[in-house]
Amino acid sequence: MNHVDLPVEIIERTESPRGEIQLQRRGEEFEIISNGTFLMATYNGESERLLVRRALELVPSPEKVLIGGLGVGFSLQEALLDPRVMEATVVEIEDKVIEWNRTVLAHVNDEALAHPRTRLIHGDLVAWIRATAETFDLICLDIDNGPDWKVFDANASLYDEAGLAALQSRLRPGGCLSFWSATPSPDFALRLKEAFGEVEIREVPQMHGEPDYIFYVRGSHC
């Protein structure tokens, strides 16, 4: 029997300032749902890992990595697998997602949150990016289902011209910025091209449903 055919066991459902968030299990696998929208699962993490893995390949010295969105911890785990990464900062707005990663999900990402090179920031990535003066070699973002399918309307400002400019200002020379998306989003790809120049797009087939897409752009070398 395929995991999607297995009955759902709700582990926890709770309210946050942004609405309802739920952790559920199908057999041995876990899913996170936000306001009825599927966010992430432990059985289809290849694109979440590739979000970071390919970006690491594009940067010679990725010492400082910023990951937007913790999810089930796969992107953070991928960053920590690279010994060149001295610090992996992950920004997550939902306290329950953080709690689940420390408890019931810890085994699926090799306890990534407890790793000595992990730095956790509990906050809103969109606001934090505009407030911080820090710069990073990699910025890997997965806080929505993509620029066309935002989990929260307030996240829209991350993908517009001003949002891309803010991200670019936080990127070190020659650094890489990557975005996860559930849709091909040609308008966003064009916006990235106008802001950064060349855009690399990876399509990741899924066993069920449409493929995932990942966008990669490079910062200026000067």
Q: Is 107 exposed, middle or buried (0-12, 13-18, 19+ CB in 10 A)?
A: exposed
Whether the Cβ atoms of residue 118 and residue 106 lie closer than 8 Å to each other: no
Q: Which of 97, 85, 91, 77 is nearest to 128 (CA)?
A: 91
142 is an active site residue:
yes
Separation between Cα atoms, residue 88 and residue 67, nearest integer Å? 7
* Residue among 124, 137, 142, 144 flagged as catalytic: 142
Q: Which of 29, 41, 118 is nearest to 72 (CA)?
A: 41
Catalytic residues: 142
